Amino acid sequence: RSPMGGSGRRTIIGSSHGWLVTADARSELHLLNPATGEQVALPSVATIEQVSPVLDREGNLERYDLSLHGDDPQPYGVDELRGVLYLKAVLSCDPALGDCTVVLIHNPYRDLSFARVGDDKWHWIPSAPREPPRYSDCIFGDDGALYAMDLLGGMYRYAIEGSCATRDMIFKETSPFVAYNGYLSKTSCGSVLQIWRVKRKTRGEQEEMHTVDIEVYMADIEKQQIVRVRTLGDYALFIGHNYTCCLSTQDYPRLLRNHVYFTDDDEYWLIDSKDNRRDVGILNLEDLSATDVVSPQPWLNWPIPVWITPSFNKIHK
């Protein structure tokens, strides 16, 4: 029996260190290692700051209300909430190797919440009093801190202590427009990369989404400016619902140098168009040509495709 519990029962919202972060039919989150079959329940969705469970007269869960800043809460079905609430999840490390923190990027406004594996609740990271930053991606640094990028390219460092996180803005917003398909990564030598993905929707019998360009910039934290990276050299990038990573093709010689491996992660396209073609492929940054990972791809529709590096470590040995 599949540990996913059937293709219609789980959605995938993240992939890190060999583990998937999945949401079940009650919008509850679980860690799943597809290589070993191990699963770990994460804190209940009802403990997320903006979510309130609503019970019927018999005390059974009827729906969830999602609070919006300054507006009336919006009601969602128990199964429906997961498609609206969760945008991406990343892990600080392999849960089998020690203290692991899970970070969610979630709605209503691309907020951040975190929990350690074994915690009983999610901890919301409040934003500044001004308009929320609205995050597009986040990664963990070598110093153990969380680094998050907003939709305008601004970057923030969060030091997580206990149930709180202190924020420092480390890089100013540089994008002249809001970009929903932005990613954050680091090279093995420590360079910070901002990756911006350009998509185009095609018309026909069935609408299709295609990645047509990927722009890579190096963020110079000291000078507070970005520099266009025309070639990745001996590196390859992986973007999508996975933990955004930049890998050396010298360490992994079967990867294509100066290529970006991408999967579909569009916030609305994934849920509203489950039967459509998924935007999955490999983009050559030299000439912007894209090729399929495999062809044809009838099995890629649902659950959503995601990159994963298998881990055979077990929590319970």
Local structure of residue 232 (DSSP, 8 states): -
> Would residue 314 count as lying in a domain?
no
State which residues form the domain around 201: 11-292
Which residues are within 8 A (CB) of 151 and not within 5 positions of it... i.e. 6 or more apart? 110, 133, 134, 135, 136, 175, 178, 179, 180, 182
Q: Residue 1 domain-assigned?
A: no
Query: In this structure, is residue 317 part of a structural domain?
Result: no
Q: pLDDT tens per residue, the chain (317 residues)?
A: 344 444 347 889 999 999 999 999 999 999 999 999 999 999 999 999 999 999 999 999 999 999 876 678 899 999 999 989 999 999 999 999 888 999 999 999 899 999 999 999 999 998 766 667 689 999 999 899 999 999 999 999 999 998 889 989 999 988 877 777 899 999 888 889 999 988 887 776 677 778 888 999 999 999 999 999 999 999 999 998 899 999 999 999 999 999 999 888 876 665 666 667 777 889 999 999 988 886 656 556 667 788 888 888 887 65
Cβ atoms of 66 and 81 closer than 8 Å = yes
CB 240 within 8 A of CB 264: yes
Residue 298 maps to a domain: no
Query: In total, how many domains does the chain have?
Result: 1
Q: Is residue 265 part of a domain?
A: yes
- For residue 259, being part of any structural domain is answered with yes
Q: Is residue 313 part of a domain?
A: no
Q: Which residues contact 303 (CB under 8 A, 6 or more apart)?
A: 4, 7, 10, 11, 12
User: What is the model's pLDDT at position 269?
Assistant: 61
Instruction: Determine, yes or no, domain membership for 277.
Output: yes
SS3 call for 260: strand
